[in-house]
Amino acid sequence: MNDNATVQLTIDGQQVSVPQGTSIWDAAREIKKDIPVLCHSPGMSPVGVCRMCVVDVGERVLAASCVRDCQEGMEVHTNSPAVEKHRSMLTQLLLADHPSPCEREQTTGDCDLEALGRRYQLLSAEEKKSVQTADMLISQNGRSQDESSPVIAVDHQSCILCDRCIRACDDIQSNEVIGRSGKGYAAQIAFDLNNPMGQSTCVACGECASACPTGALTHKPITLPILPRVELDSVDSVCPYCGVGCAVTFHAKDNQVVYADGRDSPVNHERLCVKGRYGWDYASHQQRLTKPLIRRDEYYPKGPLSGEVQAAIRADGRKPGGVVD
């Protein structure tokens, strides 16, 4: 195959030229065409399990755009009546077994499934009622919740088995902790040999929760509603915990950091460890040093230095052991 070969195709009447081997989904992104998808995300290997991204290519059946390569002369329709009917029905089936609003929708407001429900007018005021309460440990459909991890909450009832968490753990972070267990309706994601998440080899990096499109995996430190997102102050920074220098974006509300996201850079490519993703509360922690302190006797710290002592130390040009300036 010629690495420089390109193919010409039409997407919703617009001519597109892309390198050979490009998927229809990626080609549509090049021209700012939105094809909804639940099981795929940039940076992951496509698997085509959700079938939400199907498009009409003039064949007997609709094609999953994330795994279907572009072909010369192909005519693609991303929102034909048949395609929209398929997506609406699939969304309705998934919502029938999904608590609405889920935990993700109640906090960060970015549940992809519920966004599709609103798009196809499948979520009325009555259907938005939650089918669970905060203290429920067993969901109505019998799938359990897992609160064993200190930073990630697992709600199997909200899981749609898209496998994005598996690929985030394997392909992006290379931890290989998450898989599947069970068959049929009993199938669910599992950690190691179906252990509770907190007792598995999970390193709590949070990549799976960030990749999850529903409320199946959510960040525990995000406990309060922080909607709408446009009202949050976003500040690009560098993680302060070690010398790697991972790029991070802090999101703040009322002058308080409420959560952090990895930012794309040559160092971390949006990935973060447990400290970078969940350690943002250090900025407002009560044990954070905010005044100069000095070690006295065998105790440290021993109260803030008075203004006179600070001035005397600076005037003398010396910094006695234990002084934090």
CA 54 vs. chain centroid, Å, equals 23
Q: Say yes or no: 108 and 146 in one domain.
A: yes
From 267, 284, 301, give the residue that closes a domain.
284
Q: What is the pLDDT of residues 215-241, one digit of tens each?
A: 999 999 887 777 666 678 899 999 989
Q: Say yes or no: 215 and 236 in one domain.
A: no
In a domain, 136, yes or no: no
Q: Measured between alpha carbons, how far is 172 from 268 in angstroms, rounded to an integer?
A: 10
Whether the predicted model's global pTM rises above the 0.85 cut: no
Q: Say yes or no: 280 and 294 in one domain.
A: no
Q: Given this model, what pLDDT does residue 116 score?
A: 95
Place 317 in a pLDDT band, splitting at 50, 70 and 90.
low
Structurally, the chain folds into a number of domains equal to 4
Q: Say yes or no: 275 and 325 in one domain.
A: no
Domain that holds residue 300: 290-325
Helix or strand holding residue 166 (H, E): helix 164-167
Q: Say yes or no: 239 and 183 in one domain.
A: no
Q: What is the pLDDT of residues 175-207, one digit of tens each?
A: 999 999 999 888 999 999 999 999 999 999 999
In a domain, 251, yes or no: yes
Backbone angles phi, psi at 37, to 5 degrees: -155, 145
CATH number at residue 273: 2.20.25.90
Between strands 6-11 and 75-76, the pairing is parallel
Helix or strand holding residue 262 (H, E): strand 256-262
Residues 6+ apart with CB under 8 A from 145: 136, 137, 138, 139, 153, 154, 155, 156, 157
- Torsion over CA: 206, 261, 100, 135 (sign): positive
Average pLDDT rounded to a whole number, residues 15-22: 95
